[in-house]
Chains A and B, each alone.
Chain A
Amino acid sequence: KQEVTQIPAALSVPEGENLVLNCSFTDSAIYNLQWFRQDPGKGLTSLLLIQSSQREQTSGRLNASLDKSSGRSTLYIAASQPGDSATYLCAVPSAGYQKVTFGIGTKLQVIP
């Protein structure tokens, strides 16, 4: 059974700081790995998708890496802004893409 852990559970940083969010998973037989953000009371917004054969993906100030063998992914946010405040979730579909397991998320607060 896949288990996904995200550390830290909460993070508060001043505006402009670079930060790293961590996601680890127990079963390396994954289809891909996705990072999402969730704003309070709202659905999920996809941020980055990394295929199981890739090592990283970049979109603007966001960079996600994947080390499948060690069961780890990181989301790097450069020059954080107050608008980045949200909960960040990583999601790991099984190899057959029949099930997606989510981490509990990291709640980020960027202080102006």
Chain B
Amino acid sequence: GAVVSQHPSRVICKSGTSVKIECRSLDFQATTMFWYRQFPKQSLMLMATSNEGSKATYEQGVEKDKFLINHASLTLSTLTVTSAHPEDSSFYICSPRGSDQETQYFGPGTRLLVL
């Protein structure tokens, strides 16, 4: 299966700071990137979808100015949580997909704790 990495795996930050999460697809070109978050005891929820080189499409209820997504290359996408607050504490997972792939691959996730 495809190898996907996320960095950092865990991050603790103070309220009001910004956090950048990187997602890399190591052995295939990710034409589409999905970003999910998972609150405790809940299922994964799609936050946004981005295609390489274009702006991300955000799901209803997800603030695009707060969760900045950059998908500048076929192997790297970043999610920046700006001015993070405790309610943003969650598990963030990226999911890249190539143009010819059917299986959804997932990164190992980043656990964010905002104090």
Contact = CB atoms under 8 A, between A and B. Distances in A.
Say what secondary structure dominates the interface of chain A. strand
A98 to B, nearest CB: 7
B46 A89 contact: no
B105 A46 contact: yes
A105 B46 contact: no
A93 B107 contact: no
Say what secondary structure dominates the interface of chain B. loop
Interface residues of A, number: 23
Interface residues of B, number: 22
Contacts of B105: 46
Interface in A71-112: 89, 91, 93, 97-100, 102-105
Interface of B: 1, 6, 34, 42-46, 49, 91, 93, 95, 97, 102-109, 111
Interface of A: 4, 31-32, 34, 36, 41-44, 46, 49, 51, 89, 91, 93, 97-100, 102-105
